[in-house]
Amino acid sequence: MDGTPSPIVDPSDAFRAVLGRLARGEILNEADAEQAFGLIMDGGVPDMLIASFLMALRVRGERQVELLGAVRAVRARMHGVTPVPAGTIDVCGTGGDGLGTLNISTAVAFVLAALGVPVAKHGNRALSSRSGAIDVLGALGVALSDDPAVIAAQLNDTGLAFMAAPAHHPAMRYAAPARKALGMRTLFNLIGPLCNPAGVTRQLVGVFDPSWLRPVVETLKLLGSERAWAVHGSCGVGQGVDELTLAGPTAIAALQDGILYDFTLEPGDAGLRPAPISAIGGGGPAENAVALEALLAGAHGAYRDTVLLNAAAALHVAGRGDILQEGAVQRPALRALIAEAARVLDDGSALAVLKSVRGDRPSVQDECIQG
């Protein structure tokens, strides 16, 4: 040690070196991807370089190892929520399907909570749809806190908490201008759902592109998840949705007992009537909120059936059933979980959860349900 200070490395210079590697067609290893995304989220990298980086990845084709490094970088900088109940689950999609459906995973969260499954629901405002999770919750009158301690208390007290992504991932703001300028899906669309602030190890993740199903589940496995499903529903020629769907087969990659499975689930497996994706077409936050509250109050139709199908899958991921055995769908188990989910819609329990998190004064009927 001669006392000579180490030279200061400009983040832009380090980032340009990574860009040069991508220009040569190289695949980043986990550490390099983590460093590159860390530089972005620490600020100091110009928007033009960020956009060039994201486009270079997309043109060459992003890889699972690069997703893993990126997720590690985001998780290292997020504002976490602790402590959380054992077995807490998240149900969240990547968005990006452009179909503008009613809010499915948000409705599923109320059903799960009514069945005693703790849910730490990670969500955002509308990006590709007209009403994201945060938008519809606002229209429902559900107040969201940005304080991790308050959110943890809500989760432990009520079994349900909603977390607005911007409050927990402030470093993501450095990538926002470049992402907006590009106006297309990038690796960031996949990163968010894999960075739940409550550190859940059980997840039902909707994915906009079926080619990412297995990479998403592989990434979650490497990050310590116990059980996870990544799902992509087919709803027409060239169309897909980031939920389980009644409009066609749903492709699924699953992590269970340390083993990865790939399989397909049909609406008929669940004993549900097929329905076109247009049957659950949504609108703005106010319209979707009316539909969601009616659903929780027992309304029937394609929206209810779609929520039941997704709730059954989430219950399996939460360990409340055994739909999948050695990679094969067990129809009786699936239908039993659908019946469980239907029960809390019909008896008012799911609606009571909404009223509780909204802070409504309990009615005599609500007290009977809870008692």
Q: Extract the annotated binding site for anthranilate.
A: 93, 124, 179
Q: Extract the annotated binding site for Mg(2+).
A: 105, 242-243
Query: For residues 112 and 129, what is the distance between their CA atoms, to the nearest angstrom?
Result: 24
Q: What is the pLDDT of residues 74-110, one digit of tens each?
A: 999 999 999 999 999 999 988 766 778 999 999 999 9
- In this prediction, residue 271 carries a pLDDT of 96
| Collapsed DSSP state (helix, strand, coil) of residue 265 | strand
Q: Extract the annotated binding site.
A: 93, 96-97, 101, 103-106, 121-129, 133, 179, 242-243
pLDDT band of 295, cuts 50, 70, 90 = very high
- Class of the CATH domain delimited by 11-76: mainly alpha
pLDDT band of 183, cuts 50, 70, 90 = confident
Q: What is the pLDDT of residues 28-83, one digit of tens each?
A: 999 999 999 999 999 989 999 999 999 999 999 999 999 999 999 999 999 999 99
Q: Is 143 buried (19+), middle (13-18) or exposed (0-12) by CB count in 10 A?
A: exposed
Q: Is the pLDDT of residue 215 over 80?
A: yes
Question: Percent of the chain, pLDDT > 90?
Answer: 83
**Ranges in the chain annotated CATH 1.20.970.10:** 11-76
Q: Extract the annotated binding site for 5-phospho-alpha-D-ribose 1-diphosphate.
A: 93, 96-97, 101, 103-106, 121-129, 133
- In this prediction, residue 100 carries a pLDDT of 82
Q: Is 198 buried (19+), middle (13-18) or exposed (0-12) by CB count in 10 A?
A: buried
Q: What is the pTM of this model?
A: 0.92
89-355 CATH fold? Pyrimidine Nucleoside Phosphorylase; Chain A, domain 2 (3.40.1030)
Q: What is the mean pLDDT of residues 170-180?
A: 95
Q: Is the pLDDT of residue 139 over 80?
A: yes
